[in-house]
Structure 1
Amino acid sequence: MKNLFLSAAIVLGGFTSFATTSPNVNTIVKTISIQDEYTEIKLEELPAPITEALKKAYPTALLSKAYKNAASQYKLDVTVGDKVGSLYANADGTWIQK
């Protein structure tokens, strides 16, 4: 008889652990991306100081695309070896850290 009460208490105690689990809470995360409005330009429209600075800093770089924003800042899509990335420069050829 003791065994019957003991086993019933263990079984009922096991059920209460399931009842105490916390419910799953779904959180919604919104990501807002703010970008400067760059418009694509022809590579020929790139100012000479920028192309000279690019040749000096990265002699083996291949320029694939160029962009310009309203503040006369330029974004350059370049490939150096097997690495692809973007560089930012002012119209006078000084590099911008972004």
Structure 2
Amino acid sequence: MKKLILSAAILLGGLSMNAATPVVTNQIISSVNIQDEYTEITADAVPAAVKSTIEKSFVGSKLEKAWKNAKDEYKLEISKEGKKYTFFTDASGNIIKK
């Protein structure tokens, strides 16, 4: 009888060791957006080359807003069929990926 009680205690003790609480770690991910300072400009201040790019690349779209930074790069917001899109160009009208 003692052996039966002893084996049950060892068995239950062994099972409780495996039921330990898992360690939960929280990871904090932070992202930093580095963006050049853009100042809003009127649609009339946008160069003709940039307007030409909009007309050729985004047929049927309308220029809503425009911004310019110190490097003569333009941030443009256009709308087409109720959806708004943002893209970047240089002063020559070349599209820049950012």
Q: TM-score range by the shorter chain?
A: 0.7 to 0.9
The alpha carbon displacement at 1:75 in A equals 0.8
Mind listing any 5+ residue stretches in structure 2 that lack a counterpart? Answer: none
Q: Name the stretch that deviates more: 63-72 or 3-12.
A: 3-12
Counterparts of 2:30 and 2:93, CA distance in 1: 37
The alpha carbon displacement at 1:73 in A equals 0.6
What do residues 5-60 of structure 1 show as CA deviations (whole Å, max 9, x unaligned)? 332222111211134x5533333332221112111111121112211221122121
Pair 27,57 (structure 1): closer, same or farther in 2 beyond 3 Å: closer
TM-score normalised to structure 1 length: 0.78
The alpha carbon displacement at 1:82 in A equals 5.3
Percent identity of equivalent pairs: 34
Counterparts of 1:26 and 1:57, CA distance in 2: 45
Q: Quote the residue 1:15 is aligned against.
A: 16
Alignment RMSD (CA, Å): 2.1
Q: Quote the residue 2:24 is aligned against.
A: 24
Give aligned pairs, total. Answer: 97
TM-score normalised to structure 2 length: 0.78
Q: Quote the residue 1:5 is aligned against.
A: 6
